[in-house]
A and B are shown apart, each in its own frame.
Chain A
Amino acid sequence: TQLLEQSPQFLSIQEGENLTVYCNSSSVFSSLQWYRQEPGEGPVLLVTVVTGGEVKKLKRLTFQFGDARKDSSLHITAAQPGDTGLYLCAGRQRGNSGYALNFGKGTSLLVTP
């Protein structure tokens, strides 16, 4: 059973469009992170959210942590080809030692010019 469910699995859009990626769980997380991974590379941290209801913005990317700390979303405004990649959400449950994270399966985004 996957602890974190991401949707959609795949997304193909044109440059300039907006999109939202979702990360849902029935479990509560003390913190949640979003990573972006390019082919042949390791994931790179985009953001960490720790407070229920928190919203963080990173240029054209907006991240939200649900009030109940069970879900999160990533919204990209005016997508660019450079946004192409695999987007992963990862959560830390209370009691996880050493900041061990559970990862979702990812959303593969393709932005075409």
Chain B
Amino acid sequence: NAGVTQTPKFRVLKTGQSMTLLCAQDMNHEYMYWYRQDPGMGLRLIHYSVGEGTTAKGEVPDGYNVSRLKKQNFLLGLESAAPSQTSVYFCASSQNYGYTFGSGTRLTVV
């Protein structure tokens, strides 16, 4: 009964470092999404996927890359972290209208 699992939950990076955020869902959902949530900005779509092997850009894709090699996993990569990427990152999955969200990854870039 896990739903959407995000790892890690917290991370501190130095400017210029790279990292990958992992999202795993066990509901066999076709669609997966990465959002970032910042104070006063709401949730903004970074990238999304409409199926295994597909990815597409959202509203704020710059500085991020994604991959969906397996249907259940959606990876978000930061190649060279910047302080502007300090945020809470949420992964979500859906089969149609309703999203199931993970509990988030709080990332701080110093």
List the interface of chain A (C-beta within 8 A of B).
2, 31, 33, 35, 40-45, 48, 50, 88, 90, 92, 97-106
On whether A40 and B43 interact (CB within 8 A), knowing A98-B49, A99-B96, A99-B97, the answer reads no
How far, in whole Å, are A98 and B57 apart by their CA atoms in the complex? 12
Q: Are A40 and B103 in contact (CB under 8 A)?
A: yes
B31 contacts A98, CB within 8 Å? yes
Docked-complex contact A50 and B103, CB < 8 angstroms: no
CA distance A48 to B30 in the complex (A): 19
Please state if B40 and A105 are interface contacts (CB–CB under 8 Å): yes
CA distance A103 to B37 in the complex (A): 10
- Contact (Cβ within 8 A) A42 B103: yes
Residue among B33, B42, B45 having the largest count of chain A Cβ atoms under 10 Å? B42
Main secondary structure, interface of B, reads strand
Query: Contacts A42-B103, A45-B98 known; A100 to B42 CB distance under 8 Å?
Result: no
**Which of B42, B56, B101, B104 sits near A105, CB closer than 8 Å?**
B42
B78 CB-CB contact with A under 8 Å? no
Q: List 13 A-B contacts (CB under 8 A).
A: A41-B103, A42-B104, A43-B90, A45-B98, A48-B98, A50-B97, A98-B30, A99-B96, A99-B97, A101-B99, A103-B42, A103-B44, A106-B42
Using A33-B99, A35-B99, A42-B4 as known contacts, list a sample of 9 further A-B pairs with CB atoms less than 8 Å apart, ordered by residue number in A: A41-B103, A42-B101, A43-B90, A43-B101, A90-B99, A99-B94, A102-B45, A103-B35, A103-B44
Measured between beta carbons, the chain A residues less than 8 angstroms from B41 are 105
Cβ–Cβ contact A97 & B97, under 8 A? no
Chain A residues lying within 8 Å of B31, measured Cβ to Cβ, are: 98-99
Hey, what's the 0/1 contact readout for B75-95 against A, CB within 8 Å counting as 1? Answer: 000000000000000101010
As a 0/1 sequence over residues 43 to 73 of chain B, the CB contacts with chain A under 8 angstroms (1 = contact) are: 1110011100000101000000000000000
Q: Find chain A residues with CB under 8 A from B35 CB.
A: 103
Q: Which residues of A contact B97 (CB under 8 A)?
A: 31, 33, 48, 50, 92, 99
**Residues of B contacting A41 in the complex (Cβ-Cβ under 8 angstroms):** 103-104
